[in-house]
Amino acid sequence: MKRIFLTVALLTMFCASAKHVFAQGSGVEWYTLNQTVKSLCQKGEYSCAVVVAKKALELAETNPGTNDFFVAASLDDLAWLYKSQGRYALAETLFRRSLAIREKALGPDHPEVATSLNNLAALCYAQGDYAQAWPLYERSLAIREKTLGPDHPDVAQSLNGLALLYGKEGRYGRAETLCTRALAISEKALGPDHPEVAQCLNNLAWRYYIQEEYAQAEPLYNRSLAIREKVLGPDHPDVAQTLNGLALLYGKQGRYDQSGSLFKRALAIRVKALGPDHPDVATTLENFAGLYRATKRGRKAVAMEKRAAAIRAIVR
């Protein structure tokens, strides 16, 4: 999901009107904090990033004459981090506040409004609230295609979200079409080794996995993993996502030792980066338990299932 970070050019543009933006020094300070958040996110250091993101939001909210853009961007960054940590209620409050600010300041059909809609849709999806995610993704896509054009990487992001929803409904052909289009857009616009390309590959691989087309899924997972390890580092949560998918695939192919090794690595990354009670940790525990059951190791499976159930029971 998209994180909002200003470029130097955008910061310069917003600093041009003293009536509506920070004093120059405060604007630079906000930008520096924002870049620090970005760097920490790329390393998967979300807890540290939250601390810095809170400072950026406080600076944006308390500085006289602050442009709404800075507040909305800071709200989105902090909300995205809360979502990544599984703190969904906090994330929703901030995402909705950001959306309201942008709709009022920019109008209902602005690309930044589409970003807020996409972020909120992704949060709904993460919580299993697919009915609410649908209209948000669809509105986000419509705005982006109209204002940015059909081949913009932000369009690919909305396509990816909708593809996941189609997959949940069992409409795999439609999901594949959207995933393939998103991948083509991302590769052309961002290059073959961009993290967004890795996400597209991961989503397309998942679609093939669900359809038991394992031979097509495996090279996509492997390419996604190679990109993420190279660009994000071996201990990033996005790496764990791909490891988890590949481990499931190996399990279905009867490659149990390889599957177990990948599950162990994915679990270790997620516990370290996200904390022991994160929903993604529960997902890996549940998947790992499935492997143990398939290999007649019931006691280990039960222990993992109990631990996962305890995590799922946490109110967020």
In the numeric block, which tokens belong to residue 17? 């009107």
Task: Select the more confidently predicted residue: 11 or 33.
Answer: 33
String of DSSP letters for 148-159: H-TT-HHHHHHH
Cβ proximity of 273 and 235 under 8 Å: yes
pLDDT score of 15 more than 50: no
Higher pLDDT, 7 or 150: 150
- For residues 44 and 19, is the Cβ–Cβ distance under 8 A? no
- Which is more confident, 8 or 51? 51
Q: Does residue 218 register a pLDDT over 70?
A: yes
User: Which pLDDT score is estimated for 22?
Assistant: 52
SS3 labels along 17-61: CCCCCCCHHHHHHHHHHHHHHHHHHHCCCHHHHHHHHHHHHHHHH
Q: Please determine, for residue 12, whether its predicted confidence score (pLDDT) is greater than 70.
A: no
- What is the reported pTM? 0.85
Condensed to tens digits (0 to 9), the pLDDT of residues 266-307 reads 999 999 999 999 999 999 999 999 999 999 999 999 999 999
The span from the first CA to the last CA of the chain, in angstroms, equals 19
Rounded to the nearest 10°, the torsion over CA 287, 291, 294, 296 is -120
* Structural domains present in the chain: 1-107 (1.25.40.10), 233-316 (1.25.40.10)
How far are the Cα atoms of 102, 220, 279, 282 from residue 313, in angstroms, in the given order?
34, 33, 10, 10
Overall average pLDDT of the 27-41 stretch: 88
Per-residue pLDDT at 315: 80
